[in-house]
Structure 1
Amino acid sequence: MKATLHVLLLQITFITFAQSAKILGIFHGYSGSHQHLGNKILLELAARGHQVTAIVQRKFAPKTANENYQPIMIEYDSYLKSKCVTTNDPLFHCSLSTNLYKSAERGLLDTISSTAGTGLVWTELFFNQTSVQNLLKSNQEFDMVILEEFLNDAFKGFCNFYTAHCVSVSVVGPSRFTNLQMGNPLNPSYMPEILSRYSSEMSFFQRLVNTFSIFFGVINFYWSILPKHNEILQKNFPGSPPITELFYRTSLMLLNSHVSVSSPVPLVPNMIEIGGFHLNTPKELPRDLQNYLDEAENGVIYFSMGSNLRGNDVEESKRNAIIKVFSQLKQRVLWKWENDTIPGQPDNVKLGKWLPQQDILGHPNIKLFVTHGGLLSIIETIYHGVPIVGIPIFGDQEMNMAVVEADGYGKLLRFSALTEETFRKALTEVLNNDKYKENAIRRSRIMHDQPMKPLDRAMFWIEYVLRHEGAPHLRTGALNLNWFQVLCLDVLTVIILIVASFIFSTYCIINVVSRGYLKKQIKIKKR
């Protein structure tokens, strides 16, 4: 009886501690989709009784009031507007969207190095915020720091500064960005470089390119990027341990992935997939949209290139090709467009500056989603079983669409190859071939078939880390080894030396015996 009471009291203690933790959340990315993911997790933690302090862009700060949620505002826009006038740095084009469309023309190695460099710029911008410096000068204490994992390794200094458990939330699935710090396998034979155009099904040549790309990315990271993050770290956290030490202290890595939309890969115990955690309960559509979708006898094609890409920045020839193809379809088209009208707008096309994407995709008359291939968009469309035509532009979108095409629920059309003919062919193929819809529905069933909701899974593991003081028992032993030990290069070297020594010794023995035998034969012949 006493033992049972002791266990009960211990459980109550754990629950009380988990419910009253002080948490600092940092989701710093410029993209609204990244901010949305952070808000979802941090607001849920606040609703569960945790005291949450969130560093968030002012324009993306949640409007929902919660006494347990305290925002610290940061702003990038004013700096970017001034910077784009005074520099030729392509990162600071007055139209970020234009620059992103141009990024579709970059080579893979250029993309890898420039993406890492962009991360350094955003990290510097973050620490230059007055509100961030004021936080560091305050006497606040935190039990846990939750970081957006996005090219911001200097942020690990917050965890050390507050002596807090470190949790990272990756806005994408497992990649070299996440696997290196968690000691997770990074096998280029079936794990594509996240900025590549490959799925897990690669030809020999693709595996060759993939291996070289990952190797280049890792070397560039350790020799060039990480030392620069260490400079930022030491500047803002004087006396901090080196970044090479803090880099491996992450207690938990939450991944925005799921086997329904991502290739299955091995994961160490403290890497948890929570893909789909941002999905909301379907809401009623505005009356005009509801009527537009309900009355579409031949269905509706939904077209959106996400929040960072503007239609106005697409070159005129490609935009006209899209409009002409849409005008020839029997389906209606719902197009996310930043203006009230578009030159040459067909009668079957309806525009919207902002559209409730999740609720639209849930409407039964949606036949096809034309998208940029962003991971959130793919998760949302598969949740509702809608096939895809993807036009990837930057980041992980190429890889995402390669996976979509390999899994058979969509068609990839590269932006550089976009013409009236290729666009029409892609739409016709997906609309008229039932296999795309069938595969989308099959993937949707896989996504829905889970023992608990992804957001609940995220909450469980975050609070698990709190209950178990950082959960060091989940850390893989690979983190205690050097890279050459992980690859068993030291063992292979010894084995090679032993085998070489054996071969050399055998050769010497045979050589000595042979010489002795030959000398003996010569003496016999002389007699």
Structure 2
Amino acid sequence: MKFTMKYILFITLVQVTWCVVCSYRILMTFTTPAKSHYNIGMAIAKSLVDAGNDVTVISSYRENNLIDGKYRNIFLEGLVEKWFEILKIDEDSTSVFDLVNQSPFENNRFLIELGFIMANLTIEHSAFKEFLKSNGTFDVVILEELYSDALKSLGCHFNAPVIGFSAGAPNAWVNSAIGNPWPPSYVPDVNAGFQYPMNIWERFWNTAAIVYRDLSFHIVHIPQQNALMKKHFPHCPDLSIVAYNVSLFFLNGHESYSQPMPYFPNMINIGGIHMKSEQKLPQGLQDFMDNATKGVVYFSMGTFLNVSKMTSDVKQIFINVFKNIDVQVLWKWDNERLFGLSRNVKLGKWFPQQAVLAHPNLKVFITHAGIGSIMEAVRYGVPILTLPVFADQNSNAVYAEHLGYAINIPFKNIDEKKLLRALNDLLNNSKYREKARERSALFMDRPMKPNDSVVYWTEFVIRNRGASHLRVASVDMPYYEYFLIDIIVYLIFTISVIFLCLHFIIKRLVIRMKLKQA
């Protein structure tokens, strides 16, 4: 009996010691003022906590659903409101919908401004400063990559490797940081809304947008962020070093809904990590969906766009269209009332989106084409009507239509006839549902679950103190070498010299022949 008790105590001590040893300290920052981005970040945090790690999250949103285990939240209170105030964009105003008119060039300037404000507000926040004074230690830093490179100084400050996270598939800011190629001949700029194959004019404007974005990144963005970093972290190296010192990237993408493009080995797709395996409908909504024998259309423009702030003309278009379809409609509406609705429309400030999409009576999803909504529609095999407003929504929508499970109508081009025709086509033509189910099968067919992938690769970076063996040489190459400009100049110079020499020789020969004939 004594031997057995000693054996149990020994095993328990070994297990406790192992848990202490294998538990890593992880710092994460998700300060982008977009709840959808934050939700994905928290899914990463939960995966790491569930694996037994000690996770600290610096965020612009307070975590209401507490994570069991070793978790700490540094809440930057008021940051989101301050961000909107500085940019003079009211989250509850039509200004957000006005972004629909931005060109890729304007959007790039907007993102650079957004990134600087975001990084500055984060670093200047009292809770952030208090956290830095605590002199904690971390094994790795995970931060969102969205034009806020000054925050990469946290890796330098805590002497820890950095992992980047992007709420979308490979894009300009990720590719720039990691050296991933993005040929403008077939990789569309994330905000251009083009789709391969591009015609000559699309390739021209795509090239112009990518060149402009790359130049402004290095000429405007990096110097701005470097000055900010040097002000608060003077002990860190220049940002020209820090910005590219990223071990690997987690990308919120997957081949089932993202366009195939170049991927380096340190770019890891984790699309779908935020999705819950089971999400139940409230009883009233369950009855509504169950009784809708002719089907349901679900309309949501995500967490960032408040549809109640659309112009009255656009609201009326939707009201008229929904009157003319013979199915039930769930409309995510952020205000108290909407007059003139037909009896088949049910309003709600919030719906459990994944549970709605999973219901067999759900026929069509009307969406702004945010990446989260796109992947959820793909996961449950639901055809979509896309109404993109700004940023990557245009590219997401165009590619969804290209794959055959969506019809795309840019928000700025909405009219009643077009919307009604598209909705009826999606409801009555089975080809969209078939294509959506094909994409759903691809989404589910993967070698490792996203949360397992996050845990493995995070701990891989920690165990190896970074992933320098995955770093591609292009990150350290100057532009003239990467684009072979020095080789081109050398060849032009050499060929020019040869031609000049030949010209000189031939000229001398001609002169001599003329002299002999004279």
Which residue is 1:308 aligned to? Answer: 304
1:373 aligns with one of 348, 364, 369: 369
Amino acid at match of 2:342: P
Using the alignment, how far apart are the partners of 2:78 and 2:112 within structure 1? 19
Query: Is residue 40 of structure 2 the alignment partner of residue 44 of structure 1?
Result: no
2:185 aligns with one of 165, 185, 189: 189
Query: Is residue 498 of structure 2 the alignment partner of residue 496 of structure 1?
Result: no
- Summarize the alignment of residues 54-453 of structure 1 with structure 2, pairs less than 5 Å apart: 54-59=57-62, 61-76=63-78, 79-80=81-82, 84=85, 91-453=87-449
How big is the shift at 1:506?
Answer: 2.1
How big is the shift at 1:339?
Answer: 3.1
How big is the shift at 1:486?
Answer: 0.9
Q: Secondary structure at the match of 2:492?
A: helix
1:59-112 CA deviation, whole Å, 9 max, x = no partner? Answer: 3x142342311111112368539x84xxxx6x2333455221011122332122
Provide the aligned C-alpha RMSD in A.
1.9
Which residue is 1:28 aligned to? Answer: 31
Cα distance change, pair 455–292 in 1 and its aligned pair in 2 (3 A): same
How big is the shift at 1:295?
Answer: 1.2
How big is the shift at 1:219?
Answer: 1.1
Q: Give me the identity figure in percent.
A: 33
Q: Secondary structure at the match of 1:104?
A: helix
Using the alignment, how far apart are the partners of 1:383 and 1:295 within structure 2? 24
Q: Secondary structure at the match of 2:253?
A: coil
Using the alignment, how far apart are the partners of 1:481 and 1:100 within structure 2? 39
Using the alignment, how far apart are the partners of 1:342 and 1:181 within structure 2? 46
Using the alignment, how far apart are the partners of 1:518 and 1:328 within structure 2? 92
Using the alignment, how far apart are the partners of 1:413 and 1:233 within structure 2? 42
1:115-138 CA deviation, whole Å, 9 max, x = no partner? Answer: 211221122111221110011122
Using the alignment, how far apart are the partners of 2:399 and 2:92 within structure 1? 27
Amino acid at match of 1:119: G
Contact (CA 8 Å) 1:299, 1:332: kept in 2 or not? yes
Amino acid at match of 2:65: K
Amino acid at match of 1:239: H
Using the alignment, how far apart are the partners of 1:115 and 1:479 within structure 2? 22
Which residue is 1:456 aligned to? Answer: 452
How big is the shift at 1:16?
Answer: 7.2
Q: Which shows bigger deviation, 254-263 or 370-379?
A: 254-263
Q: Secondary structure at the match of 2:58?
A: strand
Contact (CA 8 Å) 1:157, 1:240: kept in 2 or not? yes
Using the alignment, how far apart are the partners of 2:481 and 2:172 within structure 1? 18
Q: Secondary structure at the match of 2:448?
A: coil
Contact (CA 8 Å) 2:92, 2:309: kept in 1 or not? no
Using the alignment, how far apart are the partners of 1:101 and 1:58 within structure 2? 23
- Summarize the alignment of residues 473-488 of structure 1 with structure 2, pairs less than 5 Å apart: 473-488=469-484
In structure 2, stretches of 5+ residues that fail to align are 1-14
Amino acid at match of 1:160: C
Q: Secondary structure at the match of 1:190?
A: coil
1:156-177 CA deviation, whole Å, 9 max, x = no partner? Answer: 1100111101001101111110
> After the TM superposition, which parts of structure 1 deviate over 4 Å for at least 4 consecutive aligned residues?
15-18
Cα distance change, pair 516–77 in 1 and its aligned pair in 2 (3 A): closer
Using the alignment, how far apart are the partners of 1:391 and 1:272 within structure 2? 29
How big is the shift at 1:340?
Answer: 4.3
Contact (CA 8 Å) 2:79, 2:122: kept in 1 or not? no
Cα distance change, pair 398–164 in 1 and its aligned pair in 2 (3 A): same
Contact (CA 8 Å) 1:269, 1:474: kept in 2 or not? yes
How big is the shift at 1:454?
Answer: 1.8
Using the alignment, how far apart are the partners of 1:415 and 1:426 within structure 2? 13
Cα distance change, pair 173–460 in 1 and its aligned pair in 2 (3 A): same
Cα distance change, pair 72–308 in 1 and its aligned pair in 2 (3 A): same
Amino acid at match of 1:167: I
1:129-159 CA deviation, whole Å, 9 max, x = no partner? Answer: 1110011122111110000112211111100
Which residue is 2:11 aligned to? Answer: none
Q: Which shows bigger deviation, 494-503 or 37-46?
A: 494-503
How big is the shift at 1:318?
Answer: 0.6
Q: Which shows bigger deviation, 507-516 or 289-298?
A: 507-516
Contact (CA 8 Å) 2:59, 2:73: kept in 1 or not? yes
Q: Secondary structure at the match of 2:155?
A: helix
Cα distance change, pair 365–18 in 1 and its aligned pair in 2 (3 A): farther
Using the alignment, how far apart are the partners of 2:196 and 2:381 within structure 1? 22
Which residue is 1:9 aligned to? Answer: none
Using the alignment, how far apart are the partners of 2:372 and 2:93 within structure 1? 18
Contact (CA 8 Å) 1:173, 1:256: kept in 2 or not? yes
Structure 2 length normalisation: TM-score?
A: 0.93
Amino acid at match of 2:437: I
Amino acid at match of 1:434: S
1:182-217 CA deviation, whole Å, 9 max, x = no partner? Answer: 011021111111111112331110110010011111
Structure 1 length normalisation: TM-score?
A: 0.92
Aligned length: 502
Amino acid at match of 1:518: K
Q: Which shows bigger deviation, 236-245 or 140-149?
A: 236-245
Contact (CA 8 Å) 2:265, 2:470: kept in 1 or not? yes
In structure 1, stretches of 5+ residues that fail to align are 1-11, 523-527
Amino acid at match of 1:197: G
Q: Secondary structure at the match of 2:94?
A: helix
Cα distance change, pair 155–78 in 1 and its aligned pair in 2 (3 A): closer
How big is the shift at 1:331?
Answer: 0.9
Amino acid at match of 1:52: V
Contact (CA 8 Å) 2:385, 2:408: kept in 1 or not? yes
Which residue is 2:508 aligned to? Answer: 512
Which residue is 1:4 aligned to? Answer: none
Using the alignment, how far apart are the partners of 2:140 and 2:80 within structure 1? 31
